[in-house]
Structure 1
């Protein structure tokens, strides 16, 4: 067994999934929302958030029905065959390498804004410290993630309270339909948490009801957190919202908010880096039997090489990873769900599953349109 410890509590499971969701995406959401307007932006957040919650619950059912410790590539191999497993592995590993690279880019910008100095070197300092957790066990990660997730919630509440007197209501009324689809990839990226679902399932050790509750509570917590963050940042900075929201908020409101906002950003990226990297490592171990040390070195090494070779643009990388790679990964997950249902491995009755068809259809439509749009934008 990978998890040689007691079963997670509900609160620990929620913290694990929340920390696997929060990350670089939340820092880009206010910029994307500022381009289209707060009402439409919140509709994006709620709509995509609920759809991804549904997808995560379906993925949780698959993990429960499959048994054992499998990440996405292993589940794809079981239900889609050897070629399906390799396809999912290719998409997932390219995506996760890109995700971790985004965290390295963003953390460098944030630490540079806080302490001064070159962003490049701050990115490398962050990577050197955070990468140490890739080589530790899940027991250590569980404790670190719980503490950091609690700090994030506290910092967001403090940030919202401090910024509230400076909110200008007209900033919430702007509409900009010329960038109508811009938020799609960025917000989808911000809700991406599929790699943390099999990780959390393994930690719950077969307690499927508690696992499902943890997914729902974590998803709703993240939706509310994103809405609060958007209302705060866009309400203050309006059309001048920066690509990394906390940097622009700090410029607008002075040193205390500058420190508080960038502390939130730094914590968000740190928790996400650790959770995504550990999930990536465990996928290599569980699904392809890569030795622990070799898997850890690969997960730590490939993203920093991508960064060193020139990946530097935060929003551009965020949009491509979210709009293209995350959409493709989630479409394959839906196919896995369907095949698992046909194999009788979903703990859901046929009448219940027939009601889920509408959720699956909505996800397929949204993900396909979003992926096509992102690919068109990428090559135009």
Structure 2
């Protein structure tokens, strides 16, 4: 709901001031009045005025000089010039000095309301633009804060490990040195992944990422992705099963689909239990292709599912405490799926496992 609009009527005719006030207050506007330019400018400078109706001829000055003052002092108040001396020249002159509109006397309540409504819509749009600008600034600052935190923590860890090496706290044991360097490498890989995800996200949201659809076989792409993660799955004793029959022809952007399904397969293994199972299903039915990636892992709590595709969101549970991640992967997945004209759904039972279902058009346009 829009905030109340406060209107100032500057006119030396008492009947005009009272008439405007009566019409406008009946519609819920807050109305103040001034009988001359000095009083009107004082009220404008004191703030709290959103719209001014300014008479062209006033006892102490003309309305044009008030427009000059409003503009020179940077007062953010649109003005409607009201006058009995309405000519094309005066209307053009008032507009050049910043008048929002021009209303010729005598005018009816309907004409007054029409002019005010147009100005109020302008004020509403200005307020919305200001709100969006402030929200964008807030989001940008929050984004920087989160990224700084996400990079600062692993950097501090690496610095601590390297300091221990330099100060000799690790001794001369090569195995101790190897463990420390492996931990440094792990933290560095996490930072690299965060930076890569940030770059992907920035390209998508800025619209600079160009999609290049081509004829492809989805089954071959899924085979390749599963093969890449076989060593990771073997280390956790996770079995990866493939339930699809090649070929699965599509016309789509291979790079985008690789990012989508790499994230989903990686997560299915990463958040799985030792000795668990991942199942990758895919099929084409008519004009659509559906891919399901299921796991028997730790699952997702109901309250976390609502925020799952939010940037930088990571579920905080005892099971996820030591699992690395940027919190950007699923946000990128959803944006890419929607960019390709598809949809993504998730089903999960905490403690039992999760299924992500991606549905895409078999042939993507452009």
Under TM normalisation by the shorter chain, which class is it? under 0.3
Structure number with higher strand proportion:
2
TM-score when scaled to structure 2?
Answer: 0.22
More relative contact order, 1 or 2 (CA 8 Å, 6+ apart): 1
